[in-house]
Structure 1
Amino acid sequence: MKKFTVVFLSALMALSLAACGSSEQNSGANSVSSEPQSTASAAESAGQGTENNEGAADSAETGGSNILIAYFSVMETDGVDTVAGASRVAANGEALGNNQYIAQIIQRETGGDLFRIETVQEYPTTHDALLDFAYEEKAEDARPELASQIENLDSYDVIFLGFPNWNADLPMPLYTFLEAYDFSGKTIIPFTTHGGSGFSRTIQTISELQPDATVLSDGLSISRNSVSGAESEVIDWVNGLDLTSE
């Protein structure tokens, strides 16, 4: 009887040990199967990181040009339509200021960055009132406060500078702008719209305000009466400058 009991107990112990071994193997299997899940999560995270990097690269390319197109433009709203003589033009169903329109063509051709020179004060949008306001500003030698600022100026080598010819001179906000920044070592390329005076002496004034910049004398001058049909002229002028956007 004792012998039977010993045999029975031995068999029972063997079964218990086998069960423990099986449980440990199952536990080990669960531990291993969790590793592929962690790897998959890492891969998904890596994939998301790649997408984010691609988005960042796109942003860098969009804002990574060495060309800036800065312009000042006031759109009149009275007097004449958008075709004949106004300081605005219709493009793709949208009314734009003359210099704004030209600046957008230059931006499209060069891949540069657009910057609108804006002031804290608002300008009249009717023709006669705007003429009077601009004349008074010039008589006072005013320096209107700017409402917009250039970021990362050091990244630009070429500055297209657009403005209307007011009273045979730069608009006074251009004086504020040119006195606020140092364009030393950069190339300034002027473009203007006018009522018959061309550039007057504005290019010389820009050179005086920025003596350490290279100011191109061969700027683009377009009559306000011709802006709506000037797209090809703007494109030919830009291509003739032989500029490349980096």
Structure 2
Amino acid sequence: MKKILKTILLILVATGLTACGNDTDSEDASGNSSSGGTTDVEIGENVLVAYFTEPEETGTDALAGASRVVEEGEVVGNTQFLAQIISEETGAELFQIDTVQEYPADHDELVDQGDQEQSEDARPELAAEIENLDDYDTIFVGYPNWFSDLPMPMYTFFESHDFADKTIIPFSTHGGSRLSGTIETIEELQPDAKVYDDALSISRSEVAGSRQTIIDWVNGI
């Protein structure tokens, strides 16, 4: 009887170790996610940080707004905040992905418009494109997670630019959905690019205190 129990125990222990070893998906406290994909990239010499940021919220309390943060007295969008720090750390130029039609500043109205665009599979017109894209070999691309997806202007952006043979390094802000499937979507939209999937994703409630997290992430690439 003891031999049988010992054998069963050994089998259970071995099975548990195998299950841990096969768990390839990992996520740290900052929301970074790695699924065993393209993590072997290097930041090139010619770098651009392109980002789509939500409009600033109305009201006096920046933390109450879903899309802005106060940095040294300046009010900026959450994703813009990440983009500026990445730019400072890498020496990269900044390019804001902006649309011809302005988004509402009111949070509820913004949510309604984003939801409608997604349901219609819309492609909002961009105010400008990257004219000198050939000059860059590495592009950091930032966006908020809207409804567990890319904001629809990001679809316009990726469908308007050819990132073939370039490295795309995504970063994102979110309200609880982390990266969702946005990395896979970018890979589908830009199949000839190398997409870094150990992307940075930070909750909007943690953006204000995330400077060191962003710097550590950049230096870890």
Length-normalised TM-score, structure 2: 0.78
Which one of 138, 145, 150 corresponds to residue 130 of structure 2?
A: 150
Gaps of 5+ in 1: 1-64, 242-246
2:100 maps to 1:120: yes
Question: 2:196 corresponds to which residue?
Answer: 216
In the TM superposition, 1:3-42 aligns within 5 A as none
- The code of the aligned residue for 1:74 comes to E
Q: Aligned-pair distance for 1:76?
A: 3.3
Question: 1:135 corresponds to which residue?
Answer: 115
Which one of 153, 160, 173 corresponds to residue 193 of structure 1?
A: 173
Which of these two proteins has the greater Rg computed from alpha carbons?
1
Structure 2 counterpart SS, 1:234: helix
Indicate conservation of the 8 Å contact 1:85/1:225, yes or no: no
Q: Aligned-pair distance for 1:81?
A: 2.1
Question: 2:30 corresponds to which residue?
Answer: none
1:18-65 Cα deviation digits (max 9, x unpaired): xxxxxxxxxxxxxxxxxxxxxxxxxxxxxxxxxxxxxxxxxxxxxxx6
Alpha-carbon distance in 2 for matches of 1:75, 1:239? 29
Q: Aligned-pair distance for 1:80?
A: 7.4
Structure 1 counterpart SS, 2:124: coil
Q: Aligned-pair distance for 1:191?
A: 0.5
In the TM superposition, 1:9-88 aligns within 5 A as 66-78=46-58, 81-84=61-64, 86-88=66-68
Indicate conservation of the 8 Å contact 2:56/2:76, yes or no: no
Which is helix-richer, 1 or 2?
A: 1
Q: Aligned-pair distance for 1:74?
A: 1.4
Length-normalised TM-score, structure 1: 0.70
Greater RCO structure (CA 8 Å; 6+ sep): 2
Question: 2:74 corresponds to which residue?
Answer: 94
Question: 1:44 corresponds to which residue?
Answer: none
Question: 2:216 corresponds to which residue?
Answer: 236
CA RMSD of the aligned region, Å? 1.2
Question: 2:159 corresponds to which residue?
Answer: 179
1:69 to 1:189, Cα distance in 2 relative to 1, 3 A: same
Number of aligned residue pairs: 177
Structure 2 counterpart SS, 1:83: helix
Structure 1 counterpart SS, 2:142: strand
